[in-house]
Amino acid sequence: MYEAIVDAYTELNQKVITFNKVWPSLVVDGHVWTLPVLNEPRTPDVIEVEHLSGAEAVDLAVRAFATFRLDAGQAPGTVSRLPGYFRLRESVLNQVLDINACKHRVQEALEAERLEQGLAPMMRPTVLRRALGHDINTYQLLRTIHAFDGSPRRISFNWAGHTGGTERVTVARIREDLAEKAKRRADSQQIPLEKAREFIELRSISHLAENTVLVYHKTVSPHPRCTLWFKPRGERWDAMIKGNLPVFVVASDNALTVTPLKDFNRQARRARRNDEKIRQEALAGRNLYMPGKSQPQSREEKTPAVLSTYRLGGINYVLDT
């Protein structure tokens, strides 16, 4: 039943093993910042980071790239992260693209299996655990490795996630999700389906067309962020990526300015913005809103500063968890 997922996962593992035998010999220098493993599914108010470099950093990165399962003591639903960077004697962009393509094939096999079983999108992690084991971590498996075929002049690490993120979802997908949840609630609580909260919510959006797109506002957990500048001057950054794993760049004789990652302290964070837009709620209590009116904008293609994995081909290695 799960052969396609297992085969794609096996191929991915082999690609990562091969890659981990090659890139350490290319390292000119590198630095990582370790974060504690979370033993409960919430972000603590204070996260202390530890800076490592040299062989220690390389060893941790080799392990991080290949860690697709929960660590000892790691709470389900949490993610292990190792922000950092390595400057290499030559580019590894092609190898990293190959690995990310394998991750995409795992995602495609997972989606095909979900649809074959007639399951809601929220069941993707469950399908993956059935295929690969109870300790598989969906996000760690599918997250992108980043590589840039160029030498940045500046790299900055900081904490992101103070503000929420958005996702556009169709009413058809929302109905599918609510119907699945309503059935599960009715079965578990031994109540008529019509009494389930999700069924009542389904009726509240009956006036919306299946292809109507709503905006889902989600709370983003604090996470490290890596920003890179490649152009010789200017304050506008060229790439901003999640600091889940070390990023690869090409070494050069030019000076590199690095802003290291600092400890996270929730109390020291700035206050939330007071200019948030007023939105029309589409489904009470679900953070789903009608899309706001936007002015059409002319979009011009921007030539990237360097070839990289950044925003490549519109592929997003993200699942609903």
Distance CA 227, CA 146 (A): 12
Q: Measure CA 266 to chain center.
A: 21
Q: Measure CA 104 to chain center.
A: 13
Please list the residues that pair with 84 across neighbouring strands: 32
Six token digits for residue 200: 């009542």
Q: What is the pLDDT of residue 300?
A: 47
Residue type (1 letter), 227: T
Residue type (1 letter), 7: D
* Residue owning tokens 């399908």: 127
Distance CA 166, CA 219 (A): 9
Q: What is the pLDDT of residue 269?
A: 65
Six token digits for residue 115: 């649809």
Q: What is the bridge-based pairing of β-strands 239-242 and 50-53?
A: unpaired
For Cα atoms 171, 174, 177, give the angle at the middle one, nearest 5 degrees. Answer: 155
pLDDT digits over 183-222, tens only? Answer: 999 999 999 999 998 999 888 888 888 888 888 766 667 8
With a cut of 50, which residues of the chain have pLDDT below it? 295-301, 313-321
- Per residue in 81-103, is it b (16+ CB within 10 Å) or e — as a string? bbbbbbbbeebbbebbbebbebb
Six token digits for residue 224: 């490290």
Neighbouring CB atoms inside 10 A of 225's CB total 18
CATH topology of domain 1-158+226-266+305-321: Replication Terminator Protein (Tus); Chain A, domain 1 (3.50.14)
For residue 59, which phi and psi values (nearest 5 degrees)?
-60, -45
> 69: which DSSP letter?
B
CB-based contacts of 236: which residues, under 8 Å, 6+ apart?
A: none
pTM to 2 decimal places: 0.78
Distance CA 50, CA 160 (A): 18
Nearest to 157 by CA among 64, 34, 254: 34
pLDDT digits over 253-292, tens only? Answer: 999 999 999 999 988 765 555 555 667 777 777 778 787 6
Distance CA 319, CA 121 (A): 8
* Residue owning tokens 């090659």: 22
Element (H, E) at 254: none
Cα four-point dihedral sign 201, 207, 212, 215 = negative
Distance CA 233, CA 231 (A): 6
Q: Would you kindly state where each structural domain of the chain is located, as residue ranges?
A: 1-158+226-266+305-321, 170-209
CB-based contacts of 26: which residues, under 8 Å, 6+ apart?
A: 88, 89, 90, 92
Please list the residues that pair with 264 across neighbouring strands: 47
Q: What is the pLDDT of residue 116?
A: 92
DSSP line for 127-170: HHHHHH-TTB-HHHHHPPP-BBSS--SEEEEEEE-SS-EEEEEE
For residue 282, which phi and psi values (nearest 5 degrees)?
-100, -30
CB 84 within 8 A of CB 32: yes
> 94: which DSSP letter?
H
